[in-house]
Structure 1
Amino acid sequence: MTEYGVRGKWIGLSIILASLFLPTHFEVASIRFTPSLVVLIFAAPFAAGLFFAQRQRIRLPDVLIMAFVCWQGLTIAMNNPGRFVEFTGQQTLMTLGGYLIGRTMIRDARDLAALIRIGGAIVVFSLPFALYEALTDDPIVLLWIDQYTGFDTFIPNDYEPRLGLHRAQWVFTHPIHYGLLGAFFLPLVVLGLRGADRPVFRMSCGLLIFSACVLSVSSGAILAAFLQAGVYIWYRLAKLFGPPWRIVLATGAVLYVVLEAITTKSAFFAISGRLAINPQTAHYRTLIWDYGSAQVVRTPIFGNGYNYWPRPHWMVSSVDNYWLQQAMVHGVPAVACVAGALVYAVVAVNRGQDNDAMRLAWTLFLIGFAMSAATVAIWGEIQTLFMILFGAGLWMLPRKAIAPNVRTPRPFSRNIAPRLTRFPAGQTGSTA
């Protein structure tokens, strides 16, 4: 790629990333638009064209993400046909568009390192605003936009303080999404930039990024950060004894089975309930799981859409569990598509031999997402950001070695050259 091409790529990617952090929205023909959706309308077709222009090999995650978007559209057409056009358009742009942007515009370690630096800088930049919000309960950016511009913005959340802090949402619709922003970039900055930036700089940035998780005062984001750190330590210890990921998976599975055996409820809810900042929230999530999973059993294939599902009258319809919410709305096949793409990517990427630090950082990012997604719904700008980061790591998938096109020499034979004879072909002469 030429110098102008590289510069144009990063200008475009910077515009895409910046649009994810503009907390405004407007309506056109009763359809809600955000700056990121407007940018994706132009960027997603470009990324799709670039994917085919690069003649990339189609991998299983490509197929599964496409199948996920198509299945979402099918289930909404069946369950909520009035929402089909708006929903399918938005989900295609945010999910498939974000994925293709990361897949096509991040092609090597240098590209991914540059993307990580931009994301880490955004998180650090947000800290003064988030700290002010956590101390005063004033989402200063949202208030400025509401008071001094003509644009609509997100509704400020009004939650009870936790640990003496108000929950900072910065420019997102929910504080947990701000916490997830920090959890996404924490391993990517601390480990992914190893060898590119000095350890002191990476660790300092890591502490600042972890502060974003804390200022959101969200159990899911903070637990994701601790899980990433725990798995990293576990990985380093396991590496002393053999194949690290096999040991981590085997010991983790044994530990989970033991916890399932000694607890009266699911091991995940037993752990998250004891570590939750607000025990009432943990109990409510257990109820969501009980009633939500019952709905999945009733409509396992095509889901229930956004229709009513049986629950106590005092429970709201929102589901604070991305995996459960996808199964309830779109059916188990939707969850299988996303989970299959993530599992395949993690397994295949870690079969590679190069970029060990980058592979480990990206794997921890996905592990943190998988866990935190069980405690919150994922939508909007944070969904797009995740898909960009997910697609951005797939260049690390190992490529099959292509055998050189060298002709194998034929064995020497005296019969190769034509023989000169006075007899016709197929006849044998006689000497009398």
Structure 2
Amino acid sequence: MVTLYLFCVVVSIYAYIGPLYLNTLRAMLLVLVIPLGVRLLLGHFGRLIITDALFVAFFLWSVVALAVNNPEAVVQQSGSTGAEFLGGYFVGRAYIRSRGAFLALCRQLALWVIFLVPFGIIEAKTGNPGIPNLIRQLTSLQSVPDVNIPGRMGLNRVQNAFTHPIHYGLFCSVAFSLNFIALKGETGTLWRWISSMLISLGCLLALSSGALLALMMQIGLIGWSVVLRKVAWRWWLLVGLLVLAYIAIDLLSNRTPIRVFLSYATFSAHTAYWRSLIFEYGFQNALDNPLFGIGMKDWVRPSWMYGDSMDNFWLVIAVRFGFPAAILIIVGYLYVLLKVIFRNLQTDPELWKIRQAWVLSFVGLTFTLCTVHIWSNVYSFVIFMFASGVWLIYEPVRSAEKPAEDAAPNAPPNRPRHLPFSRFSA
């Protein structure tokens, strides 16, 4: 099922099914969302957590907000976005619930990114997205449109099989830590390095500051972990340094720390300034409509701000559905992330490695979502990848096995690894 899900994320074929205009992913999730939701509530996919309730509540609140603001579009919008959001979450909760399943996901995701790189290289030179054009030529069906965004640094921005170059870059960036860290020891060292470089190339081809920010944050955090691997409190040290840097910038700079951050997280000063304006006026829209937001209506801004895009996923949620919706999704998101981060896994090197890969991927993604907006397939994919780490909260921790030469001379033979976690163990 996960293989089919990833295929539908990448190969997006659009067609009319009755009065509905659906793509492959939405059609799949519309079929799965109710059965998987019922099974999740019945406890078939592990114990329920507070995020399950918060995410369902977020969806229900978004439906109410749409009914208030756009009653004519509530069925279509809530059905499509609900399938993408809850469907992606339920698929991740249902089918990624063990170490083996998670590592298989990491392998498949890395292979998909590598498969897309040659198409990306061709598109960077020609400007023609290969897979969508191929779908349109071979069938009478449709695929994602060619967005034809102006290039950067003499290259075309690559959207590949996705609706926007930002989405392609994000798709690649999510795979980096999962390939480089989680698959350490699972694949050959040479292939792990080569595949990680190809994944990085995919991020670069998108020429998206958001994707590059996620990639560079992951590389920086990996480097920090390696250099200070003998320092147990290295992550608290990093948090302290970041807080100190924020205070110093606030005191010494004539710009706010957020604007300074944006200036380094974007390709140009113009882009940084524009995004700071988007945040300023977008947040004012949320303050003016705090309960149900503005729905699918256009947001209020000066006439000279001609574009209607809002490059901040978290802000879009607050503006579109109100602060309650934003609080529900952010609290649910942080609950899982913090529970996984603060779990003690020192005695289980394999689980510790998997946890580090997933956390680094989502730390980078969390900051990136402050500078980009996601929708359609990548929206569902991000929620799916988030749900694929929930099992880390309650997975049994294994004790590191001692080498044979360290065992006592008269010690009994080792028991099978699964017995200590059996309900019948001593």
Shorter-chain TM band = 0.7 to 0.9
Taking the aligned partners of 1:123 and 1:101, their CA distance within structure 2 comes to 20
Residue aligning to 1:346: 337
Cα distance per residue 1:258-297 (max 9 Å; x no partner): 2233333332331332342243222221221121111111
Deviates more, 1:96-105 or 1:342-351: 342-351
CA contact (8 A) 2:210 2:265 kept: no
User: 1:302 maps to which residue?
Assistant: 292
Counterpart CA distance in 2 for 1:156 and 1:269 is 32
Contact 2:29–2:84 under 8 Å retained in 1: yes
> Any residues of structure 2 matched to 1:180-199 within 5 Å, and which?
180-199=170-189
Match of 2:282 among 282, 292, 312: 292
1:371-390 matches, cutoff 5 A = 371-390=367-386
Confirm whether residue 336 of structure 1 aligns to residue 327 of structure 2. yes
> Structure 1 residue 28: deviation in Å?
4.2
Contact 1:348 1:398 in 2 (8 A): no
Structure 1, residues 141-187: CA drift from partner, whole Å, max 9, x if none? 22223334211222212222212211000111100000001111011
Could you tell me which of 20, 36, 46 is aligned with 1:31? 20
**Cα-to-partner distance string for 1:97-117 (whole Å, 9 max, x where unaligned):** 111111111111110000111
CA apart distance, 1:348 = 1.0
Distance 1:342 1:245 in 2: 20
Aligned residues: 395
Which range moved further: 141-150 or 90-99? 141-150
Counterpart in the other structure of 2:406: none
1:220-255, Cα deviation, whole Å (9 max, x unpaired): 101110011112333445553333433333332222
* Equivalent in the alignment of 2:365: 369
Indicate conservation of the 8 Å contact 2:45/2:93, yes or no: no
Superposed CA deviations along residues 74-117 of structure 1, whole A, max 9, x for unmatched, are 11111111111111111221111111111111111110000111
How much does 1:61 deviate? 1.7
Q: Deviations over 1:296-329 (max 9, x none)?
A: 1111222111223321224222211111111110
Mapping of residues 118-133 of structure 1, within 5 Å? 118-133=108-123
Report SS of the residue matched to 2:218. helix
Summarize the Cα distance change of 1:160–1:108 in structure 2 as closer, same or farther, 3 Å threshold: same
- Give a deviation string over 1:326-350, Cα, whole Å, max 9, x none: 1110112222222222222122113
| Matching residue's letter, 1:246 | W
Counterpart of 2:34?
45
In 1, Cα distance between equivalents of 2:288 and 2:141: 42
Distance 1:114 1:403 in 2: 25
Question: What's the counterpart of residue 388 of structure 2?
Answer: 392
Work out whether residues 238 and 248 of structure 1, in 8 Å CA contact, stay in contact via their aligned partners in 2.
no
CA distance in 2, matches of 1:225, 1:404: 42
Measured on the aligned residues, the alpha-carbon RMSD in Å equals 2.3
CA contact (8 A) 1:352 1:396 kept: no
Q: For residue 339 of structure 1, give the secondary structure of its aligned residue in structure 2.
A: helix
Asked if 1 retains the 8 angstrom alpha-carbon contact of 2:292 and 2:322, the reply is yes
1:13 is matched with 2
Aligned equivalents of 2:45 and 2:138: distance in 1? 47
Q: Is the 8 A contact 1:238 1:247 kept in 2?
A: no
Q: Give the equivalent residue in structure 2 for 1:234.
A: 224
Partner of 1:323: 314
Amino acid corresponding to residue 249 of structure 1 in structure 2: V
Q: Distance in 2 between matches of 1:83 and 1:256?
A: 43
Report the more deviating stretch, 44-53 or 360-369.
44-53
Structure 2 spans left out of the alignment, 5+ residues: 398-420
Match of 1:268 among 243, 255, 258: 258
Structure 1 residues 261 and 19: alpha-carbon distance in aligned structure 2, compared to 1, 3 A threshold: same
- Work out the CA distance in 1 between the residues paired with 2:234 and 2:39: 36
After the TM superposition, which parts of structure 1 deviate over 6 Å for at least 4 consecutive aligned residues? 399-406
Q: 1:143 to 1:274 in 2, by over 3 A?
A: same
Q: 1:186 to 1:55 in 2, by over 3 A?
A: closer
After TM superposition, give the deviation of residue 188 of structure 1 in Å. Answer: 0.7
Single out whichever of 361-370 and 125-134 deviates more from structure 2: 361-370
Amino acid across the alignment from 2:147:
N
C-alpha distance after superposition, 1:31-72 (max 9, x if no partner): 321110111122223322442252621112212211211111
Distance 1:209 1:403, change over 3 A: closer
1:403 to partner: Cα distance: 13
Instruction: Output the CA distance in 2 between the equivalents of 1:317 and 1:149.
Output: 33
- Can you give the 5+ residue segments of structure 1 that lack an aligned partner in the other structure? 1-11, 407-432
> What TM-score does the superposition give when structure 1 sets the normalisation length?
0.86
Q: d(CA) in 1 for partners of 2:118 and 2:16?
A: 31
Which protein is bigger by CA-based radius of gyration? Answer: 1
- The question of 1:282 aligning with 2:278 is answered no
Matched-pair identity in %: 28
SS of the equivalent of 2:14 reads strand
